Amino acid sequence: MAWKVGAAIAGLLGLAGVAAELGGGADPRRAGWRETYRPPAEIPFPSDNPYSAAKAELGRRLFFDPILSGDGSRACATCHIPDLGWGDGRARAATRMQGDMDLRTPTLLNIAWQDGPMGWDGKFRSLESVAAMPMTSPANMNLPMADALAKLSADRSYAAAFATAFDDPAITRERLEAALATFERLIVTGTTPFDRWIAGDETAIAEPAKRGFDLFNGRADCASCHSGWSFTDNSFHDIGVGSGADIGRGRFKPTSVALRYAFKTPTLREAGRRGPYMHDGSVATLEAVIDLYDRGGIDRPSRSRSIKPLHLSAAERADLLAFLGTLSTGTGRDVTTASFTAAAPAP
């Protein structure tokens, strides 16, 4: 009998949710949804690369230093620019010859909460494994790993920094990657109006944004992929954008129809200053992103089952846009551990 009562209540709540989405006020599921966006208590660091202040500072120096490029013209920060949401504002990343790479520069915001394969197409097994590819690529930083280690070893300041950050003073690829990844895990978005609302400040965001939140989690079902505090499920989906040879995750799993044009779900944090959008920068504005999802993208067998035409009204589109606007801090500075008192424990 109890399960029948529970099912009836759930059904009524579902109907109430539909009514809310049709203009009947706040969705009764809103309080439960809000709980799923509570911020984490600390920044996670892997057991085989724990946090230390010396390692993080070494990683910061390396990230901004063009010493890691063959001709001294590029650094990690050339493409991951703090004032552009740790991206570069381009449709596709620039080669060192100022051509276009295959994919857009992904943001590093909240990268500590990403797990599983990384990169738009999942080519990297972990954050530590990312740095070597752009560093050694002839089209990018163009510095063979052996040369990078030799340059750092010959620099007395870097030799001392590595000796301080690690038990052994030898400068190795693994330690170079570990230092960069440690710094990158500290690239954490600051507190946004949305976060203040989640914490209980009802005045932090306006009513259109609250309605947009209900739509995001309800009928539009954006949260099926852009979920939780980091606004990503860390998975790969075909949302009806890629085509031709631009095959995303299918590059590594060619027998999977579902992954043929699947790219990794990006965070929506600071989305307002991270355009253009999608893996290829093919969508210029957030309004156009909403239009894409409203249409449902390219209809094909590999398209995710959760992607379908939404038939949003103009008011609903405006509400979604208002909600997305609450996910930005409104400032150019993102590196912070102020909200994470346990973010940097002693090793």
Q: Mean pLDDT across the stretch 304-327?
A: 96
Q: Is it the case that residue 86 has pLDDT exceeding 60?
A: yes
The pTM of the full predicted model, rounded to 2 decimals, is 0.87
Give the pLDDT confidence score for residue 24 in this predicted structure: 52
CA gap 62, 322 in Å, rounded: 38
Give the pLDDT confidence score for residue 340 in this predicted structure: 40
Q: Tokens at residue 17, please? A: 């949710």
Separation of CA 270 from chain center: 10
CA gap 264, 83 in Å, rounded: 23
Give the pLDDT confidence score for residue 5 in this predicted structure: 29
pLDDT tens digit sequence for 221-239: 999 999 999 999 999 999 9
CA dihedral 52, 56, 57, 58 (to 10 degrees): 100
Band of pLDDT at residue 25, cut at 50, 70 and 90: confident
Q: Is it the case that residue 346 has pLDDT exceeding 70?
A: no
Q: Which of 134, 130, 152 is nearest to 143 (CA)?
A: 134
Band of pLDDT at residue 145, cut at 50, 70 and 90: very high
pLDDT tens digit sequence for 156-176: 999 999 999 999 899 999 999
Give the pLDDT confidence score for residue 16 in this predicted structure: 38
How far is residue 60 from each of residues 64, 148, 184, 335, measured CA to CA in Å?
7, 16, 8, 11
For the chain, the 3-state helix, strand and coil shares in percent, each to the nearest 5, are 40, 5, 55
Mean pLDDT is lowest, of 7-11, 180-184, 232-236, 264-268, for 7-11
Which residues have CB under 8 Å from 222's CB, separation 6+? 216, 293, 320
Q: Is it the case that residue 98 has pLDDT exceeding 50?
A: yes
Q: What do you get for the CA distance between the two ends of the chain, in Å?
A: 53
CA gap 264, 63 in Å, rounded: 24
E strand segments, the chain: 236-237, 263-264
Band of pLDDT at residue 330, cut at 50, 70 and 90: confident
Q: Is it the case that residue 64 has pLDDT exceeding 80?
A: yes
Give the pLDDT confidence score for residue 331 in this predicted structure: 56
Q: Is it the case that residue 6 has pLDDT exceeding 90?
A: no
CA gap 7, 340 in Å, rounded: 40
Domains and CATH numbers, the chain: 53-184 (1.10.760.10), 192-325 (1.10.760.10)
Q: Mean pLDDT across the stretch 44-50?
A: 95
Give the pLDDT confidence score for residue 342 in this predicted structure: 37
Give the pLDDT confidence score for residue 280 in this predicted structure: 95
Q: Mean pLDDT across the stretch 296-305?
A: 94
The rounded mean pLDDT for the chain is 89
Three-state secondary structure string covering 61-91? HHHHCHHHCCCCCCCHHHHCEHHHCCECCCC
Q: Tokens at residue 187, please? A: 């690239």
Structure-model confidence comparison of residues 334 and 216, the more confident one: 216
- Note whether 86 and 267 are within 8 A (CB): no
Band of pLDDT at residue 3, cut at 50, 70 and 90: very low
pLDDT tens digit sequence for 245-296: 899 999 999 999 999 999 999 999 999 989 999 999 999 999 999 999 999 9
Mean pLDDT is lowest, of 15-19, 163-167, 182-186, 318-322, for 15-19
